[in-house]
Amino acid sequence: MSCLFALSGKGGVGKTTLAGLFVRNLVELGKTPVLAIDADPNSCFADTLGVKVPFTIGAARENMRDEAEAQKISKQELLRLKIAQGLVESEKFDLISMGRPEGPGCYCYANNVLKVAIRELSEKYPFVVLDNEAGLENLSRRIVQSVDVLVLVSDASNAGINTLERLFSLAHEMGVKYRKLVIMVNRTRDGKLPESTRKVVESTGAQKIFALPYDEEIATIAEESRTVWQVSDDNPIYKTVREFLKEITTGN
């Protein structure tokens, strides 16, 4: 049985950075191989993890029928082949990038492709970290339906917390199932949850709520094209990620 973490939240709040730190720590805990899923067409999850993606599944979604006919295999088989081709394998973790369908196409079909890919691939890994695109898309398109740990990320702003509330409601409306709900309020001024946000955050019934401080080292990661592997061990954000994952992986 695999354990799937899905990170969702407003644009730019730190989802990809945190997802990258999750992958790094799971690797360091020896929970390998870890599967990283980039479900954001505009994402840089691969860059954050320091790998290159030659081929996204989104690009493979086009002309599936013609290609399957030409190769005399079913669309399902072709899809499995494409997923296998799109998987970037490194020593300790693998990464698959969803990309986006090119040109006009049927989104229902594209969505199904994503769902199949997530479901079938995830079964092969003990731990899976899914970095979602900003906002409600993947939830409202029902791409993410059942996860072990839903991590809602926000910044400390009102807009961020409002989005978090909407995401939470939407997850319920869409019947997203999760074992644990965790909220990470990122880039807080002093590592404390602002009083104005506390009520909202607590009303979700989340099992864990973290307030992560603004951190200079993390801020420079994207600016200097560095990866999560270069974050120092005593970084406060990484320390919190480690404490959290220790709890999850030891079943506390």
Residue 14 binds which of ligand ATP, Mg ion, none (CB < 5-8 A, kind-dependent): ligand ATP
Nearest distance from C-beta of residue 15 to Mg ion, angstroms: 5
Q: How many residues does the chain have?
A: 252
User: Which of ligand ATP, Mg ion, none does residue 101 bind to, with CB < 5 to 8 Å depending on kind?
Assistant: none
Return the sign of the alpha-carbon dihedral for residues 55, 139, 208, 16: positive
Cα separation, 76 vs 87, in Å, equals 17
Please report whether residue 12 would count as binding ligand ATP according to CB under 6 A.
Answer: yes
231 near ligand ATP, rule: CB under 6 A? no
Choose between 16 and 122: whose C-beta lies nearer to Mg ion: 16
Which residue number, 43 or 97, has a Cβ lying nearer to ligand ATP? 43
What's the distance, Cα to Cα, between the start and end of the chain in Å? 18
Q: What are phi and psi of 220, to 5 degrees?
A: -85, -10
Relative to beta strand 146-155, strand 3-9 is: parallel
| Strand stretches in 69-140, DSSP E | 88-89, 93-97, 127-132
**Quick one: which of 16, 56, 97, 163 contacts ligand ATP (CB under 6 A)?**
16
Q: At CA 60, angle to CA 55 and CA 63, rounded to 5? A: 150
Distance CA 252, CA 240 (A): 15
Provide the 8-state DSSP code for 32. P
Site string for ligand ATP, 169-198 (x = CB under 6 A): -----------------xx-----------
Rule CB under 6 A: say whether 98 interacts with ligand ATP.
no
> Number of residues in contact with ligand ATP, rule: CB under 6 A?
21
Choose the contact partner of 229 out of ligand ATP, Mg ion, none; CB within 5 to 8 A by kind. none
Residue ranges in contact with ligand ATP by CB under 6 A: 9, 11-17, 40, 43, 134, 186-187, 212, 214-215, 218-219, 221-222, 237
